[in-house]
Chains A and B, each alone.
Chain A
């Protein structure tokens, strides 16, 4: 933790970065994102087990960009988000410094996508065994049982859009849910509109979700939203050997076609 503070201070003092996005303590012993702009404030940074929020959410916000060159305390999901955002043209190379931790607990400064890609390769990026077990449980349900399960879960939704606001991949300035000419997705939090919203969100994340889990954590009514994305991640891995957020130059799996792609679902 000491090293993180040092690295942040160093970056701010040398002028290599004007703002360090990291975790700090909030009221009532909560952990939240903080934006450190002065070297002396670097001491406020923390990094412990409570630091789970995906900070990549902030890097493209114009309020943060406005501060100048950004550095970010980067856990694995943050790094993968950065690479995925890069492949979608939302961040540029050498624009952001990532302060990352190696598997043997050393603090490193990654200032290019190439360096981030190399770093990400040191970690396991597939679903964990626990996640796979959960997925198995859901997929073991029959069609009707599963439909009933999701209907029950979605009936709790209050359309607060916390899932969307917490997701670094939901960067559209005008979300499709807000298009009202025509209004494809009803605004009201009724059963029908809730299902439409969550299906759309899952589809928009197919091949893009890097499995940070923030949507499920942000949900105030505890809908297990990440179960939807687990399935998409597994499916794309099985069908196309594709994992999102591993390289800044990878092409989006759903808009590219290769001769060796399976077409079993068509025939």
Chain B
């Protein structure tokens, strides 16, 4: 006979303001099988938990229903309390009165009725709960960091410094990411390369870090603590061991006019190239689609001239298989290109550039060696217009969010321009100035007050070319929307930060969720900002949302500490709420028909084939079998199985059925 305890929480006033908690406790105490029922102001508090523990001992409870907040918040709390009182934790269930009832309904009898129904349903379920034991799985203490930007670098270094092995995978020939392209950084105006390159070198030299540049993740299998990842090392056509990085090949390559990705198309590179002088690793790669030898079958100059004979034209992509315990996604972001904006010339005006292109113009290592010269004719612009919120905060463009970094970098751009072109005029069109951050507001004020950047509050409606000038039409909303027209020499659009190319495919590969803008989704916007909903996969940097360098670095350290915490145990404890294929007496062995349609549907590849043989080894039957280490308990296979041969512990068919009947007031 079941002896269920029911505990109704007021949650301060969150529940009791609209639900009569006393009445819920009183009515539910008369339900069949309920041995004890009470209400209390805060069940999650220490006295509240003590109430539960005492009741378990005093009334010899066989199950507990706590009607309170979301189980996502306090289920572990109450299950632990039950375990301390000697009750199997999985005999305790939570009814979500707060989110499912009190918060969404007005005060009234009907609301209390609903609360009673919710509790009653769960009482019936708990009667059918079974004692379950947690599953232990081993942990592979190697982390995989995907993306070698500043976030990836920080995460990798932090994990490696905790003494764990790290594998870093970078899509491009060098690590460094967008930060390596920047000229100076706000709010201190220190050189980006100067602060980043020591970290890049540290990654290369760290004994615990293995760097695979020019590589991509091919596939991911497994689960927290036990991922199996295939990495595709794209053929660089250069033997990394033999190459000394002397760079002779890059100077001799006959292809010289390939737009450089690193220079944002403002400079050129050869077909065999190192993206930038401080690249890590500082070994060139051959860009096959642009290489004369690969396209025409003749040339091989680099191979002939290489002093160490390191060129390997026949090198093939290599697939590495690695075992990984935790994954940090740090794949970064991208910005919209100028061709996104019809009103600003669809990208056909050479002197309308984006923020990253301006960074390259201002950078001492850039195509103009740090002089601000406009791309069309190399002239130093006398009037320059910066347009903030180009795309951002514009629902009509599909980007209603704020890209966060543009206000600050636009102020920086205006400053850098004024520092280099003293007599020049810088105009900034802005919607609002968002300068929340340490020393940020002061930085923007400096641009306006000391460097005399002209800030105009208003948006730019149109840009067009006339007599070699760019006519920028806008309005000044602080002067009663007075039309403003500026004849500029160059325009810099602070284009919106967007999800990186291939973010959606990557998210699907890793089974992490993503938002409508294809930024990866964190598990909880406030309390679990670096975790994903997939256990063992963490987020760092701008792949989650646009963010600046300090935020990216902080998030990376946060993700690293999560990984380090995971690696601090030799074994992981996992919830036993997993699916199982039924077994029964011969000759049936199981009602499973072995159709294996479930095998395809399982998102975690947790379903295997099990062969049942007789004593002589002859095959009698082939059945589906669920690997308890891999199963995440999503229940997709349960829904698909036509013969109802799979059940999920904690949410069995019998439990769900009895809950439905209880709601319909029919007791089985």
A30-38, A222-230, A250-258: which lies at the interface: A250-258
- Cβ of A213 to closest chain B Cβ, rounded Å: 21
Name, among B598, B601, B644, the residue most crowded by chain A CB atoms within 10 Å (CB to CB): B644
B600 is an interface residue with CB less than 8 A from chain A: yes
Q: Is the CB of B595 within 8 A of A89?
A: yes
- Cβ of A250 to closest chain B Cβ, rounded Å: 11
Q: Is the CB of B593 within 8 A of A179?
A: no
Additional 5 contacts, C-beta under 8 A, given A88-B595, A88-B597, A172-B642: A89-B622, A171-B593, A181-B654, A255-B601, A255-B640
Provide the B633-650 mask, 1 if CB < 8 A to any CB of A, else 0.
Answer: 000000010111000000
Q: Which A residues lie within 8 Å of B640 (CB)?
A: 254-255
Q: What 5 A-B pairs come out closest when comparing CB atoms?
A: A255-B601, A182-B657, A172-B643, A255-B600, A88-B595
Q: Is the CB of A182 within 8 A of B658?
A: yes
Q: Is the CB of A204 within 8 A of B600?
A: no
Q: Is the CB of A252 within 8 A of B658?
A: no
Q: Is the CB of A174 within 8 A of B657?
A: no
A90, A175, A183: which contacts B595 (Cβ < 8 A)? A90
Complex CA–CA separation, A88 to B593 (angstroms): 9
Q: Is the CB of B597 within 8 A of A175?
A: no
Q: Which B residues lie within 8 Å of A141 (CB)?
A: none
Complex CA–CA separation, A105 to B597 (angstroms): 36
Q: Is the CB of B593 within 8 A of A173?
A: yes
Q: Which B residues lie within 8 Å of A147 (CB)?
A: none
Complex CA–CA separation, A259 to B502 (angstroms): 13
Q: Is the CB of B597 within 8 A of A173?
A: no
- Cβ of B463 to closest chain A Cβ, rounded Å: 35
Q: Report if A172-B600 is in contact (Cβ < 8 Å); known contacts: A184-B657, A204-B642, A254-B640.
A: no
User: Interface SS of chain A: helix, strand, loop or mixed?
Assistant: loop
Q: Is the CB of B588 within 8 A of A173?
A: yes
Complex CA–CA separation, A28 to B611 (angstroms): 47
A88, A173, A252: which contacts B591 (Cβ < 8 A)? A173
B653 is an interface residue with CB less than 8 A from chain A: yes
Q: Which A residues lie within 8 Å of B664 (CB)?
A: none
B668 is an interface residue with CB less than 8 A from chain A: yes
Provide the A177-196 mask, 1 if CB < 8 A to any CB of B, else 0.
Answer: 00101111000000000000
Q: Is the CB of A252 within 8 A of B597?
A: yes
Q: Which B residues lie within 8 Å of A256 (CB)?
A: 600-601
Complex CA–CA separation, A179 to B508 (angstroms): 36
Q: Is the CB of B657 within 8 A of A255?
A: no
Q: Which A residues lie within 8 Å of B593 (CB)?
A: 90, 171-173
- Cβ of A47 to closest chain B Cβ, rounded Å: 31
Q: Is the CB of B591 within 8 A of A174?
A: yes
A-contacting residues, B201-215, CB 8 Å = none
- Cβ of A26 to closest chain B Cβ, rounded Å: 31
Q: Is the CB of B643 within 8 A of A176?
A: yes
Q: Is the CB of A182 within 8 A of B642?
A: no
B-contacting residues, A140-180, CB 8 Å = 171-176, 179
Q: Which A residues lie within 8 Å of B597 (CB)?
A: 88, 252, 254-255
For chain A, give the interface size range: 20 to 34
- Cβ of A244 to closest chain B Cβ, rounded Å: 12
- Cβ of A136 to closest chain B Cβ, rounded Å: 29
Provide the A106-139 mask, 1 if CB < 8 A to any CB of B, else 0.
Answer: 0000000000000000000000000000000000
Q: Which A residues lie within 8 Å of B505 (CB)?
A: 259
A-contacting residues, B580-600, CB 8 Å = 588, 591, 593-598, 600
B-contacting residues, A220-261, CB 8 Å = 251-252, 254-256, 259
Q: Which residue of A lies closest to B656 (CB)?
A: A182
Q: Which residue of B lies closest to A201 (CB)?
A: B642
Complex CA–CA separation, A176 to B622 (angstroms): 20
For chain B, give the interface size range: 20 to 34
Q: Give the total number of A-B pairs whose CB atoms are below 8 A apart.
A: 53
Complex CA–CA separation, A256 to B598 (angstroms): 10
A-contacting residues, B595-643, CB 8 Å = 595-598, 600-601, 622, 640, 642-643
Q: Which A residues lie within 8 Å of B644 (CB)?
A: 176, 179
Q: Which B residues lie within 8 Å of A181 (CB)?
A: 654
Q: Which residue of B lies closest to A170 (CB)?
A: B642
Q: Which B residues lie within 8 Å of A255 (CB)?
A: 597-598, 600-601, 640
Q: Which B residues lie within 8 Å of A88 (CB)?
A: 595-597
Q: Is the CB of A182 within 8 A of B598?
A: no
Complex CA–CA separation, A201 to B179 (angstroms): 59
Q: Is the CB of B654 within 8 A of A252?
A: no
Q: Report if A182-B600 is in contact (Cβ < 8 Å); known contacts: A90-B595, A172-B591, A255-B640.
A: no
Provide the A198-213 mask, 1 if CB < 8 A to any CB of B, else 0.
Answer: 0000001000000000
Complex CA–CA separation, A255 to B594 (angstroms): 15
Name, among B593, B596, B653, B654, the residue most crowded by chain A CB atoms within 10 Å (CB to CB): B593
B588, B596, B622, B653: which contacts A182 (Cβ < 8 A)? B653
Can you offer 10 A-B residue contacts whose CB atoms are under 8 A?
A90-B595, A172-B591, A172-B593, A174-B588, A182-B658, A251-B600, A254-B597, A256-B600, A256-B601, A259-B505
Complex CA–CA separation, A237 to B597 (angstroms): 19
Q: Is the CB of A89 within 8 A of B588?
A: no
Complex CA–CA separation, A175 to B645 (angstroms): 10
Complex CA–CA separation, A175 to B642 (angstroms): 8
Complex CA–CA separation, A89 to B619 (angstroms): 14
Q: Report if A176-B598 is in contact (Cβ < 8 Å); known contacts: A89-B622, A90-B593.
A: no
Q: Which B residues lie within 8 Å of A184 (CB)?
A: 653, 657
B-contacting residues, A88-110, CB 8 Å = 88-90
Q: Which A residues lie within 8 Å of B508 (CB)?
A: 259
- Cβ of B186 to closest chain A Cβ, rounded Å: 39
Q: Which A residues lie within 8 Å of B591 (CB)?
A: 172-174
Complex CA–CA separation, A173 to B593 (angstroms): 7
Complex CA–CA separation, A90 to B643 (angstroms): 14
Complex CA–CA separation, A255 to B593 (angstroms): 16
Q: Which residue of B lies closest to A60 (CB)?
A: B593
Q: Which A residues lie within 8 Å of B588 (CB)?
A: 173-174
Q: Is the CB of B643 within 8 A of A252?
A: no
Q: Which residue of A lies closest to B588 (CB)?
A: A173
- Cβ of B637 to closest chain A Cβ, rounded Å: 9
Q: Which A residues lie within 8 Å of B658 (CB)?
A: 182
Complex CA–CA separation, A245 to B329 (angstroms): 42
Q: Report if A182-B643 is in contact (Cβ < 8 Å); known contacts: A173-B591, A252-B600.
A: no
Complex CA–CA separation, A181 to B657 (angstroms): 9
- Cβ of B14 to closest chain A Cβ, rounded Å: 32
Q: Is the CB of A174 within 8 A of B654?
A: no
Provide the B553-594 mask, 1 if CB < 8 A to any CB of A, else 0.
Answer: 000000000000000000000000000000000001001011
Q: Which A residues lie within 8 Å of B654 (CB)?
A: 181-182
Q: Which residue of B lies closest to A169 (CB)?
A: B642
Q: Which A residues lie within 8 Å of B601 (CB)?
A: 254-256
Complex CA–CA separation, A173 to B505 (angstroms): 40
Q: Which A residues lie within 8 Å of B657 (CB)?
A: 182-184
Q: Which residue of B lies closest to A182 (CB)?
A: B657
- Cβ of A257 to closest chain B Cβ, rounded Å: 9
- Cβ of A63 to closest chain B Cβ, rounded Å: 14
Name, among B600, B640, B657, the residue most crowded by chain A CB atoms within 10 Å (CB to CB): B600
Complex CA–CA separation, A89 to B621 (angstroms): 11
Complex CA–CA separation, A182 to B601 (angstroms): 24
- Cβ of B614 to closest chain A Cβ, rounded Å: 15
Q: Which residue of A lies closest to B668 (CB)?
A: A182
Q: Report if A89-B668 is in contact (Cβ < 8 Å); known contacts: A172-B591, A184-B657, A254-B640.
A: no
Name, among B596, B622, B668, the residue most crowded by chain A CB atoms within 10 Å (CB to CB): B596
A-contacting residues, B154-185, CB 8 Å = none
Complex CA–CA separation, A183 to B656 (angstroms): 12
Complex CA–CA separation, A176 to B639 (angstroms): 12
- Cβ of A208 to closest chain B Cβ, rounded Å: 9
Q: Which B residues lie within 8 Å of A254 (CB)?
A: 597, 601, 640
Q: Which B residues lie within 8 Å of A252 (CB)?
A: 597, 600
Q: Which residue of A lies closest to B657 (CB)?
A: A182
- Cβ of A61 to closest chain B Cβ, rounded Å: 14
Q: Which B residues lie within 8 Å of A172 (CB)?
A: 591, 593, 642-643
Name, among B505, B642, B653, the residue most crowded by chain A CB atoms within 10 Å (CB to CB): B642
